[in-house]
Copies of this chain bind each other. A is one copy, B any other.
């Protein structure tokens, strides 16, 4: 599931593009947003609030899909920026491709797993955000995405967790301290 070959059949016209680290490939307010499948590299989606603060919604490394489903399902301009945290190879689908009405049965079926998986991930994230402390969320993040911390600066992990870099720094310090005594 979620393999490249599965995805590619969704849209035979989809093209693989290469982007450089730091490139913004989708901006907030865009009304025909795309969906991006990551072949290589690392992308993120995020919002910027009225105070100018970034909130990272999702990281997408190899094999993941990144898109603004809210925007696509309700045909609204997107709230999400998407940019590259590493030089990346990305398959670009146009928005029609993920609108239910436009899809063939075959395409839908392949799509269904991706969507169910995304719902599961989001469900878990909401419950974590509501019920767990920043420290617990950080530990869960390390468990769930053990390879990501090597590729992502701390401040972005903090942003994903919904805390400041300072708060994450002090959590890490306390973890180290408590490890010394055990």
- Which residues of A are in contact with B by a Cβ distance under 8 Å? 47, 49, 53, 55, 57, 68-70, 72-74, 79, 98, 100, 103, 105, 108-109, 111-113, 115-127, 129-131, 162
Find A129's partner among B79, B117, B123, B162 (CB 8 Å cutoff). B162
A69, A105, A124: most-surrounded residue (chain B CB, <10 A): A69
Residue pair B119, A73 in contact (C-beta under 8 Å): yes
Task: Check B127–A129 contact: CB distance below 8 A.
Answer: no
Q: How far is the CB of A156 from chain B (nearest CB, A)?
A: 13
Main secondary structure of the interface of A (DSSP, over half): helix
Q: Are B55's CB and A130's CB within 8 A?
A: yes
Among all A-B residue pairs, the 3 with the closest Cβ atoms = A105-B105, A70-B120, A122-B122
A131: chain B residues within 8 A (beta carbon): 47, 49, 53, 55, 162
Of B109, B116, B126, the contact of A126 (CB 8 Å cutoff): B126
Residues of B within 8 A of A129 (CB): 126, 129-130, 162
Task: Collect the chain B residues with CB atoms within 8 Å of residue A111's CB.
Answer: 112
Q: Compute how far the CA of A100 lies from the CA of B106 in the bound complex, rounded to whole angstroms.
A: 12
Neighbour of A108 across the interface among B55, B70, B73, B112, CB < 8 A: B112
Cα separation A70 to B119 with both chains bound (whole Å): 7
